[in-house]
Structures are given as structure tokens and as C-alpha cells.
Amino acid sequence: MPLSHQQLASLRASVDPGVVARSRAYARAVRIVSADTTHVDALVQGTHEYEVFLTVEGTRLVASCTCPFFDDRFEPCKHAWAVVEAAVAQGHLNALADVARPRLIAGGPDDDLDIYGPDEAEEDPEPLELRDTDPRTRWVRALVGRRSQAQAPREP
Ligand SMILES: [Zn+2]
């Protein structure tokens, strides 16, 4: 099943609007080398030829490009977005069709992607303010202690 307009719009919302606008000039410069439901490898001919990799990681599409903009800013560039549009138009990346609101993020084919997913970072729970005078405090402390023990990594 190909991606819907809403899903493409959700991906586009992750990209700087100026980048999306500039990507239009590259729509015909995209040459997809290999692609399937979860990966795209493409070349984009601009001033130089740049290589774009796209990989579906869960609810995210991870993009990388060999251009200086991407190297400098580490965010989706016009080449990456041009490849996304071309790939979706050709029916690739269908693994995202199951994702209601897919996002496009910058990454690299060899990176540990968890580094680049601030939204996926585990959020620390708000610290509980406990007053020793409150008789419920000990009960809460016991509960919190038990929970943090349960979350502690197991010994190998
Ligand atoms: Zn680029």
C-alpha cells in the first residue's frame, strides 16, 4: 500500500520549509539506485553528485546525504527530501504505510540511531517532593524504591 498524502505531509512537516521548496529543483535529478519497502539508495545530481540513503526505523524515516549542508547541519537536506518524494511516488518505502504520522530525521546508515532520536529518549519522571513529616512519605518512598529497583538493569 503506498503512502497517503497525509503520511507524506507528516514526513514533510519534519523538514524545513525552505529545504522543501529548494528540493523541487531536484525532482528530476533523482536517480534511485536501489529501493524497497524500507530502504532507498539514490543519487542526486546537483552541482556535484550526492548520495542519499533512506532507512525506515520504526515510525521514523532516517535520511543521510553526502552533501556539505547535511554534513554541517545534520538535518534533512533538499536532496534527501527530493529522494523521499521520488521514492514515495514510485511506490517505495511502503513500510511507512502502517505509520500514522511518520517523521523524517537525519541519521546515517552506520550510526547508532538512538543517539539522534531525542523524542525517543527516556524521560526521567518528575522527582517526587517528599516531606518527612507526612506519614504517607515512607509508603511512597518504598513504592518509588521498588519501582526504581524494578527498572534497574539486570545483572548478566
Ligand atoms: Zn544533501
Confidence (pLDDT) at 147 = 56
Q: Is the dihedral of CA 57, 61, 64, 65 positive or negative?
A: positive
Mean pLDDT check: name the lowest of 2-11, 30-39, 64-73, 131-140: 131-140
Task: Kindly report the pTM of this predicted structure.
Answer: 0.70
Please list all protein residues whose beta carbon sits less than 5 angstroms from ligand 1, which is an ion: 50, 65, 67, 70, 77, 79
Average pLDDT, the chain: 83
Whole-number Å distance between alpha carbons of 154 and 156: 6
Q: State the distance from the centre of ligand 1 to the C-alpha of 59, rounded, in angstroms.
A: 22
Q: How confident is the model at residue 54 (pLDDT cuts 50, 70, 90)?
A: very high
Confidence (pLDDT) at 13 = 97
